[in-house]
Structure 1
């Protein structure tokens, strides 16, 4: 018998998260396990609930923001419970990467039949990162996207708003240090990802794996309208690192500063900490539940990429 804690925002998804949690709880009990529902009442409470939950599996019911808060609580623990995911967000970036089904009942099968798989967590100053961090134009453009627009247009609204902002030729001076090199760049945006997906687009960084122990870093040059128009096909085909003028590298440590720019990062879709940023990867710190058949597909994908 396995014990589960379901953490969710009862007001998320037009107040539908409560109904989803109750449905999941009923099915878990019917399968012979124990479960406790832990709805949140304010921002950040999911972190406290995950930190104190005395169960085998802590389940995040929500989108990347909810998973981020739950992971922030689990990563503080010496021996954290397993992480389960029931996608209920707009983009569900991490769930897509892990091939967790978007339909509730299929996601439940993944939860009940899943096996532990290592999941890297990024530490950014005192914040947690499960998927992506942006600075500059992309982060600023995302601020203007409303919840209603996200629900109506999904990831395409971020892409459209970002392309429009890039054409304004905004740029900032950054000093970027990895474990072995230092770059000083005048950049339109900096993007760091821990997976092959950004904003729900799964071809963004095909070399990135959720358990490879690395940040995959893209530093964009100053963007003209011509270069902005070129960006879209590179973005959608997985060749983003090959965009003319783009700097790409992978590292497990990163420091980002600026002598002039006063930028605020956006982590996993939400506004977060300001410059300077000191980042490192907590490799395999958490274990996430993934169904065995999905694990085989994942392993085959890794072998295919390796053999190329």
Structure 2
């Protein structure tokens, strides 16, 4: 009996057309013998409940497919991990970043009718798997990266724009990019108000100090960051390590972002090392994001961040 598929669809992804993409997938599966909802079905996600929906789907289906961006993938992966039933994660990337999908060679972005569906279904129905680490910060899971500082403040401001009625306009990719730029300009003066101290687990070395006035602290699980920026050639999603990058100045961070379009552009001037987790002390405000999703709400009041590997999920890959 073929393994059963369940598509969790973020309705605002893909410029609001994620539902069309998922319905096309279901139609094609019906033609391949997946005749009923017991074999292949979809559900629209609810804000703040994707992990719960993913856990519930694991009780009835074998392959849980995230149809959306990196935040949707993160929440579905979290649900699979918490369910503990060994279900497989599929990805149809429809966000603005899609860094996990990019790193695994699945696709950079899918659009309705762009001819990629047959290839994606071959991946979703195939048997090639890649283990991916799922990390935890104060109990909140992430797969791609964690940011503290300037970039997190930009993500927070963008999320607020997206959350008000004007955010409906952000369904355009161009307008979304422009809004990110405007949020960045608004926060150009942002600096860490106090030094941060990072303690490494298990005698992993002396503590690391991020000085006051620094711009951004990144912990990355992938070679890519922020929609394809080349943050690290050494990072691997399954090695139990994160790449720690500290940007004391803004210029190297902005150059890093430009590697989305110019991959060979040098952006030196940031300290990097690999770690297996850490505790971050000295936080004065919850300017933190995970996989491009604002965590100022879930981490409100936190003065310490505890980052550790929570487990792994199996992802369907080409």
TM class, shorter-length: 0.7 to 0.9
Structure 2 CA distance, aligned partners of 1:65 and 1:238? 28
Give the deviation of 1:178 after TM superposition: 1.6
Q: Quick one: which of 200, 210, 213 aligns to 1:178?
A: 200
1:269 matched to which residue of 2?
A: 292
Q: How does 1:87-102 map to 2 (within 5 A)?
A: 87-101=93-107, 102=109
**Which digits, 9 at most, give the CA deviation of each residue in 1:62-86, with x for residues without a partner?**
0011111111111112233000001
Q: Quick one: which of 51, 58, 61 aligns to 2:67?
A: 61
Q: Give RMSD over aligned pairs.
A: 2.6
1:303 matched to which residue of 2?
A: none
2:256 corresponds to 1:255: no
Structure 2 CA distance, aligned partners of 1:115 and 1:192? 28
1:3 matched to which residue of 2?
A: 4
- Relative to structure 2, which stretch is displaced further, 112-121 or 122-131? 112-121
Q: How does 1:116-155 map to 2 (within 5 A)?
A: 116-145=129-158, 146-147=161-162, 148=169, 151-153=172-174
2:189 matched to which residue of 1?
A: 168
Structure 2 CA distance, aligned partners of 1:155 and 1:207? 30
Normalised by the length of structure 1, the TM-score is: 0.81
Q: How does 1:31-110 map to 2 (within 5 A)?
A: 31-33=32-34, 34-40=39-45, 42-53=46-57, 54-101=60-107, 102-103=109-110, 104-105=116-117, 106-110=119-123
- Relative to structure 2, which stretch is displaced further, 211-220 or 177-186? 177-186
The answer to whether the 8 Å contact 1:205/1:238 transfers is no
**Which digits, 9 at most, give the CA deviation of each residue in 1:16-58, with x for residues without a partner?**
2222221111212322342021222x31222112112221100
Structure 1 CA distance, aligned partners of 2:251 and 2:182? 13
Give the deviation of 1:206 after TM superposition: 1.3
**Which digits, 9 at most, give the CA deviation of each residue in 1:255-297, with x for residues without a partner?**
1110x622331111111124411011235x2000012xxxxxx
The answer to whether the 8 Å contact 1:174/1:261 transfers is no
Normalised by the length of structure 2, the TM-score is: 0.79
Q: Quick one: which of 203, 206, 209 aligns to 2:230?
A: 203
2:165 matched to which residue of 1?
A: none
The answer to whether the 8 Å contact 2:145/2:291 transfers is yes
Distance 1:196 1:261, change over 3 A: same
Q: How does 1:205-224 map to 2 (within 5 A)?
A: 205-221=232-248, 223=249
Structure 2 CA distance, aligned partners of 1:233 and 1:10? 33
Distance 1:49 1:166, change over 3 A: closer
Please list every run of 5 or more consecutive structure 2 residues that lacks an aligned counterpart in the other structure.
111-115, 163-168
